[in-house]
Chains A and B, each alone.
Chain A
Amino acid sequence: MDFFDFTFPIRIAMPTAWESHIYRQTVLIVLSIIFVSGAIVFFFRNKNYYFVQSWASIKSWLIAAPLMFIVMGMPEPWPLVFLTLLAILGAKIFFQIMGMFHRSYFVLICYAGIVGLGVATWYDRLDIYNFMPMIVLGAACLVPLIRNSYKRMIQYMSLTLLGFIFLGWSFMHLGLILKFPNGVYQVMYLIILTEFCDNTNLAVGRYVGGWKLFPGINPRRTVGSTAVAAALTIFLAGSMRFLLPDGSDKYWLASGLVASLGGFLGDLIMTVLRRDAGMKTVGPFILGRGDFLNRVDRMIFAAPIYYYVMTVIL
């Protein structure tokens, strides 16, 4: 039986990414970087806090990166389905952090909204995509009536909308980016850049100090470490510009800036939420550092900014 032989309408407009030598080359480069970094960090993994964190992060990516490449290399619509499932997983952890995962009505409305975003993306209905937050808010407002209860409903409705905007509407912009020319490459490009930026910031934080940018939120983020991480990310963006459909300077420069600064903002905002909720982590993501939301929080700003920079500004 052909695994990809479906009866529902599927557009195989482009070959699977694995058929492209660029994709295979990218996979090889990225996995080599992760393995080499892992081999180096392994010997210093217990040296100090920063190496412990870096090693944990590399461990989780040793498992997550091959999985990501396998799925992203599959034909349409599997990469989009995969992103939708990731968004749902992110939303689940958000609701656990906010202590409302057992409020099933709100959780299911958010999940349904995320699935709706996936469907809207698949059918290129940007109007429905951007209208979806209103639908989710409307549905969430009906829950108190269905439950015939008013207790703490402002909190639940607000958090449902916040969770949907961050983990649904924002994150699912990666699905819209998939629709770009070489979309799969661009999604991978953005993920690699944001993850690289975060790990670099963490790694150089001990050695490059300066002002603490937001000591009340995250005392480890300094001006120096953020600037160095951004510079290195922009350098990596330039090195990997072959993944962009247009390799001219403005595109990879914009990508590097968006990945570093947008990712930085997303990370900080999610830290604000975690600290207010009094919750550091829900549980390890595969292995290593933080939960799944720690891995994708940078996308809640980077993905929509990247999308609009590429479509509107450039």
Chain B
Amino acid sequence: MKDWNYDNEQWTKLPTYLKHLPLFTRHIDLFSVAMRFVWSVFLKNIVFKFYIRLKVKGTPFKEIYRTQPKLIIISNHASHLDAVSIAASIPRRFWLSLYIAAAKDYFFTNALFTFFSKHCLGAIPIDRKDRKGEAINLILKLLTELPRMWLIIFPEGTRSKDGKIQEFKRGVSIFSERTQTPLLFTYLEGNAELWPKGQPIPLPGKLVLHVGPVHPPGPIQQVYAAYKEWVVTINPDAFQAIPSEPSNEQE
């Protein structure tokens, strides 16, 4: 008889804060599946229906899901609503392929946040002070090995203070180019007004998620330029105004 092989590396080789990620089993554990379902009901059927009225414009996610098994979803980032808003706009049956890159120093700071980040958000902890590249390797491994994965990531790296879109950090392009994963442009309109930085809870109101084109992998400057070009068609004031040269002409 063949020796039994216990596939328990998920529980033996991973630190606690990574055990929810399907790095060995390729499956999300049963408890997380149940928690994600409960969370999706709360988010989609209660919060984003009655408290915040979310509207999705652009290409339907169902259509994108059919053609794009792997995607990096990028968006502007001005509030804690952003990741959950994008998640809420994605059909529930795709949720098990959905991951969110989240700051480890914020979303994994205490037991309650960690539980929520792991089991409800499916968050991948990103250590912003990481010099060893653990987070990068983690995401690269998941993007390479999982048959389906949609990763929500905010290329600005942090929330914007004034709601204006800032310069993108390199990370997004690294993930995209190394794994040849296309990028899906999305733009959230109204997020900064509903939950600006420093406010304890979000205000009720309207939020619009614009779903844009799927962009091929490329260097960050190229991605930023393409994203800017698309967003300006929706909201011309979305970006920081570049101070113009003072005019020398005498009137």
Chain B 18-30 interface 0/1 with A at a Cβ cutoff of 8 Å (1 = within): 0100100111111
A102's partner among B5, B16, B27 (CB-CB below 8 A) is: B27
Q: How far is the CA of A282 from the CA of B9 in the complex (A)?
A: 11
Also in contact, A99 and B9, with CB within 8 A (given A155-B4, A283-B16) = yes
Name B3-23 residues within 8 Å CB distance of A: 4-12, 16, 19, 22
Chain B 143-166 interface 0/1 with A at a Cβ cutoff of 8 Å (1 = within): 000000000000000000000000
Q: How far is the CA of A276 from the CA of B9 in the complex (A)?
A: 14
A92's partner among B9, B28, B31 (CB-CB below 8 A) is: B31
CB closest residue in chain B, given A277: B6
Which A residues touch B22, using CB under 8 A?
A: 102
Pairwise interchain contact A277-B30, C-beta atoms closer than 8 A = no
Which A residues touch B7, using CB under 8 A?
A: 99-100
CB closest residue in chain B, given A103: B27
CB closest residue in chain A, given B22: A102
Also in contact, A278 and B8, with CB within 8 A (given A102-B25, A283-B16) = yes
Q: How far is the CA of A155 from the CA of B22 in the complex (A)?
A: 22
Pairwise interchain contact B11-A104, C-beta atoms closer than 8 A = no
Q: Min CB distance, A170 to chain B, in Å?
A: 22
Also in contact, A97 and B8, with CB within 8 A (given A102-B25, A283-B16) = yes
CB closest residue in chain B, given A100: B7
Also in contact, A108 and B6, with CB within 8 A (given A96-B11, A279-B11, A279-B12) = no
Q: Min CB distance, A92 to chain B, in Å?
A: 7
Pairwise interchain contact B8-A99, C-beta atoms closer than 8 A = yes
Q: Among B8, B9, B28, B31, find the residue whose CB has the most chain A CB atoms closer than 10 A.
A: B8
The verdict on A257 contacting chain B, using a C-beta distance below 8 Å, is no
Pairwise interchain contact A99-B6, C-beta atoms closer than 8 A = yes
Pairwise interchain contact B6-A98, C-beta atoms closer than 8 A = yes
B8's partner among A98, A104, A107, A108 (CB-CB below 8 A) is: A98
Name B32-54 residues within 8 Å CB distance of A: 33
Q: How far is the CA of A132 from the CA of B30 in the complex (A)?
A: 23
Chain A 268-300 interface 0/1 with B at a Cβ cutoff of 8 Å (1 = within): 000000001111001100000000000000000
Q: How far is the CA of A282 from the CA of B26 in the complex (A)?
A: 18
Q: How far is the CA of A155 from the CA of B2 in the complex (A)?
A: 10
Which A residues touch B8, using CB under 8 A?
A: 96-99, 277-279
Q: Among B4, B5, B10, find the residue whose CB has the most chain A CB atoms closer than 10 A.
A: B4
The verdict on A101 contacting chain B, using a C-beta distance below 8 Å, is yes
B30's partner among A98, A108, A278, A282 (CB-CB below 8 A) is: A108
Which A residues touch B11, using CB under 8 A?
A: 96-97, 99, 101, 279, 282-283
Q: How far is the CA of A299 from the CA of B8 in the complex (A)?
A: 24
Which B residues touch A102, using CB under 8 A?
A: 10, 22, 25-30
Q: How far is the CA of A97 from the CA of B19 in the complex (A)?
A: 13
Which B residues touch A282, using CB under 8 A?
A: 11
Q: Which residues of B does A touch, CB under 8 Å?
A: 4-12, 16, 19, 22, 25-31, 33
22 A–B contacts, CB within 8 A, in A order: A96-B10, A96-B11, A97-B6, A99-B5, A99-B8, A99-B10, A99-B11, A99-B25, A100-B7, A101-B10, A101-B25, A101-B29, A101-B30, A102-B10, A104-B27, A155-B4, A278-B6, A278-B8, A279-B6, A283-B11, A283-B16, A283-B19
For the A-B complex with A276-B6, A283-B19 known, give 10 more contacts whose Cβ atoms are closer than 8 Å. A98-B6, A99-B7, A99-B8, A99-B11, A102-B25, A104-B30, A108-B30, A278-B8, A278-B12, A279-B6
